[in-house]
Structure 1
């Protein structure tokens, strides 16, 4: 089985943090720059992971403010 792309591994990591409660609803995710540095990935990789999690309803972005863990329904 081929290795997962970096963006998918990052999305899985953030998803696990959200599901475990380490990142709770309303918590702000680290900035793109911080995620790049923490995970040794490019900004494009971070944006792809964020896009996936947003589509899955786990996070939501607020223009000019940041990306936050969505409230659970």
Structure 2
């Protein structure tokens, strides 16, 4: 079985942080450059991971401010 793509691994990591409460609703995600440095990935990988999480309703981007954990119920 092929390894999971890096963007999927990063999305899983952020999803776990949200599920565990390490990242709470309203919290800002680290910047693209911080995530790149922490996980050793490209900006494109970070963008793809965030896009997937946005599609799932877990995070939302606010133009000019960053990406934040969505204000939603525990059903995530």
TM-score w.r.t. the length of structure 2 is: 0.94
Counterparts in 2 of 1:5-24, with a 5 A limit?
Answer: 5-24=5-24
In structure 1, runs of 5+ residues without a counterpart are: none
Superposed displacement of residue 2, structure 1: 1.1
Deviations 1:23-54 (A, max 9, x none): 00000000000000000000000000000000
- Provide the rounded CA distance (Å) in 1 between the counterparts of 2:45 and 2:72: 25
Instruction: Return structure 1 stretches of 4+ with deviation > 3 angstroms.
Output: none
Counterparts in 2 of 1:1-73, with a 5 A limit?
Answer: 1-73=1-73
In structure 2, runs of 5+ residues without a counterpart are: none
SS of residue paired to 2:71: coil
- Provide the rounded CA distance (Å) in 2 between the counterparts of 1:5 and 1:41: 11
Superposed displacement of residue 72, structure 1: 1.3
Deviations 1:46-72 (A, max 9, x none): 000000000000000000000000011
